[in-house]
Structure 1
Amino acid sequence: MSLLKQNKIIVLILSVLIVMTVILLSFALKKDETVAKFNGEAISKDELYSEMVKQYGAATVDKIIGDKIVAAEAKKQKVNVKDTELNKEVDKLKASYGGEEAFNQALKSNNTSLALLKQDLKNYLTIKQLLEPEIKISDEELKTYFDANKDSFAQAEQIKASHILVADEKTANEVKQKLNDGGDFAKLAKEYSTDDSSKDLGGELGYFSKGTMVSEFEDVAFGLAVDQVSKPVKTEYGYHIIKVEAKKKAKEANYNESKAEIKATLFNQKIGSEYTTWLENKKKSYDIENTLEEV
């Protein structure tokens, strides 16, 4: 995904969480109250607060001020990010992580939540709408980018496939026989497959090109006709029964067909630097007092 890079989103969210933690500690602890000890020596709340402010305070306060300016400008210009648009971007993020389970694990491992992620995404999408009229991309820039990245715009042959993965050959043959007898592939995948990332989707793997899956799987899958189901295929993961749902032929890179994608990519590349300039200009229009700068 080329909105905010995922890591950047996580960093921004974590910076807010750090400040929230400091604020909560400030309310929860009395002045000079001990939060930890080292060799019997107390580490006080004030020491913790000072250290966290030194490390994260300036950047986080700048972000909060920036967010408030964005909200004020959005109100002035009647810019509004709809929930449908926000949810669409969240779905893209989930897909980029390989599914909802992996996405939720990423949130958990970064000690954040979907609500905070949505908050940051909404802010970013608002920034995009505010800056869009000010970012210009020429035809020359589009063509230069296309020529430099032509391979990425070509489409290799792809197939859309589903599979049922089981641990042993005996079970694979049982499932294959049920399919031969008219059994529903998706239902059998939900019942038998050990692939947790696809079983609840009826075994769907989506579209993929050669080089994506292990060779034993691909050699069989790319040789199947649409709607054809394979015999059990052994790989290091177990035994697969593969069904091809659809195929896409290889296509050469086409500039006209790629222009919209290139424009979106260049826009997202430019928005970072343009936002910094835009924000500094907008700060002149607001009464801002940052006492942290005086510390």
Structure 2
Amino acid sequence: MNVIAERVRSGRLRFVLAALVIALMLAGGAWTLRAQDAAGVVARVNGEVITKDELFDAMYEYIGPQVLDEMIIIRLTQQEAARRGIGVTDADIEAELDAWAVQVGGRANLELLLMQQGMTVEQLAEQLRINLTIRALIASEIVVTDEEVRQVFDANPAQFARQEMVRARHILVDTREQAEALRAQILDGADFAQLAREHSTDPGSGPNGGDLGWFGRGVMVAPFEEAAFALPVGRVSEPVETAFGFHLILVEERQEAEEPAFTDEVAELIRTALVDQKVEQRWGPWLQALRTGADVEIYIGD
């Protein structure tokens, strides 16, 4: 699945694509002309010239009004944030980038997906700053009551039960003999993560030292799950055969299952989810109201 495209469609990257177009249209480097084209000629076709002005006019007719409108919204958002003293920190941006990276299997995968879309992490970060600023502005006007939070918990208690989970690493190889040889090295003191980086054939976890993160039951194939949940913390499994090959598994942490409880942590999770839900509902109307209430003069177009 194209994760970046899904994010765009879901509204998480509302201004990213427009901002990239803006960068192409307005960045000095994008419009650098050779010395012989100082008059503004950007191309010649069988001797006939296409000028920079012609190119700009064509681009504006095609996408200009939308891009200009989003530039106006971005500027209004920045002005409103400054007026209210609301800002987004670099730590906020990094946390959001980390959340994106988790969804696509790591920062390297995120960078690859962005590159396929013609973007960089730095460009994404700047546009996330815009989105997070808008979210903070809208969220500052939202009130979620304790009663609303409790109602969500009471209506969905099973969702807040703590599931049994493990945090594990694995090394995947083709043969049992390879797995047994690596296991012997680990028992003799070799570093599991380093051996995973050197020998694992799993392209997702191998470069990360075999780290699979936290997972619950029903996620992994049955033989792998059975072995992982039976292992004591810190012990390396015997070779486990699956359709993918032979695995060595190391469980690093374990979380036992617990009945649902209305803790402060659960309440805060629910409150955050409710705020996010209300922000999404108000996003479009809020931006429209911001635009309508502003003094905007446009000097280009019809």
Q: Secondary structure at the match of 1:222?
A: helix
Q: For 1:20-75, what per-residue CA distance to the aligned partner results, in whole angstroms no more than 9, with x for missing partners?
A: 445578776988977999xxxx9998887667545543332222111111111222
Match of 2:171 among 164, 169, 190: 164
**In the TM superposition, what are the counterparts of 1:160-239 in structure 2 within 5 Å?**
160-239=167-246
Conserved 8 A contact 1:159-1:246: yes
Q: Distance in 1 between matches of 2:131 and 2:112?
A: 23
Q: Secondary structure at the match of 2:87?
A: coil
Match of 2:150 among 143, 158, 164: 143
Conserved 8 A contact 1:162-1:244: yes
Match of 1:63 in 2: 70
Distance 1:50 1:149, change over 3 A: farther
Match of 1:16 among 5, 14, 19: 19
Q: Distance in 1 between matches of 2:179 and 2:45?
A: 57
Q: Secondary structure at the match of 1:247?
A: strand
Conserved 8 A contact 1:14-1:110: no
Q: Secondary structure at the match of 1:255?
A: coil
Q: Secondary structure at the match of 1:240?
A: strand
Match of 1:263 in 2: 271
Moved more, 273-282 or 92-101: 273-282
Moved more, 22-31 or 94-103: 22-31
Match of 2:134 among 101, 124, 127: 127
Match of 2:255 among 240, 248, 254: 248
Match of 1:83 among 90, 95, 98: 90
Conserved 8 A contact 1:159-1:247: yes
Q: For 1:165-184, what per-residue CA distance to the aligned partner results, in whole angstroms no more than 9, with x for missing partners?
A: 11222211110111232322
The Cα of 1:214 is off from its aligned counterpart by: 1.4
Q: Distance in 1 between matches of 2:25 and 2:136?
A: 33
TM-score, normalization: structure 2?
A: 0.80
Q: Distance in 2 between matches of 1:48 and 1:253?
A: 61
In structure 1, give the amino acid aligned to 2:110: F
Q: Distance in 1 between matches of 2:156 and 2:85?
A: 37
The Cα of 1:119 is off from its aligned counterpart by: 1.0
Q: Is 1:274 aligned to 2:282, yes or no? A: yes
The Cα of 1:208 is off from its aligned counterpart by: 0.4
In structure 1, give the amino acid aligned to 2:99: K
Structure 2: gaps (5+ residues): 1-5
Conserved 8 A contact 2:144-2:271: yes
The Cα of 1:139 is off from its aligned counterpart by: 3.1
Q: Give RMSD over aligned pairs.
A: 3.2
TM-score, normalization: structure 1?
A: 0.82
Identity %: 32
Conserved 8 A contact 1:142-1:263: yes
Distance 1:35 1:276, change over 3 A: farther
Distance 1:155 1:49, change over 3 A: farther
Structure 1: gaps (5+ residues): none
